[in-house]
Amino acid sequence: MVTPQVLVQAGLYPNKQTVVQEALRVLWRERPQVRLDWAVYQYQTQEISLAKAAALAGVCFDRMKEVLVQRGIQPLLGPETVAEARRELKVIEQTLASQE
């Protein structure tokens, strides 16, 4: 069986952490449902915004809203404070900058 340690011993990766990071990158790219499920989980448990959840999932805002409703989760729409609105704007700006 292939393990991170075996890949390190074979000289393919410098350490186990690098193996895991690469595996997660591939998982995120090849299995978009995992990203979506993770974003829903984060939205429910970490009090992240809908915009942040959409960015994590790699989907548009409206699609993320649809997914939440389909799963019986009531999306919180709109910031409740100016500070929250600024945080959401910052997330959007960071997401756009990372896509350039």
Query: pLDDT digits over 16-72, tens only?
Result: 999 999 999 999 999 999 999 999 999 999 878 899 999 999 999 999 999 999 999
Domain boundaries in the chain?
1-30, 32-98
What is the separation, in whole angstroms, between the first and last Cα of the chain?
A: 39
| pLDDT at residue 62, as a whole number | 94
Question: Helices in 10-78 by DSSP H: which ranges?
Answer: 16-30, 32-45, 50-57, 61-70
For residues 85-90, average pLDDT? 89
Q: According to the model, what pLDDT value does residue 95 have? A: 87
> What pLDDT is stored for residue 88 in this prediction?
86
CB 49 within 8 A of CB 88: yes
pLDDT confidence band for 9 (50 / 70 / 90)? very high
pLDDT of residue 38: 95
Would you state the pLDDT for residue 46?
84
pTM above threshold 0.75:
no
Rounded to an integer, what distance in angstroms lies between the CA atom of residue 9 and that of residue 78?
Answer: 51
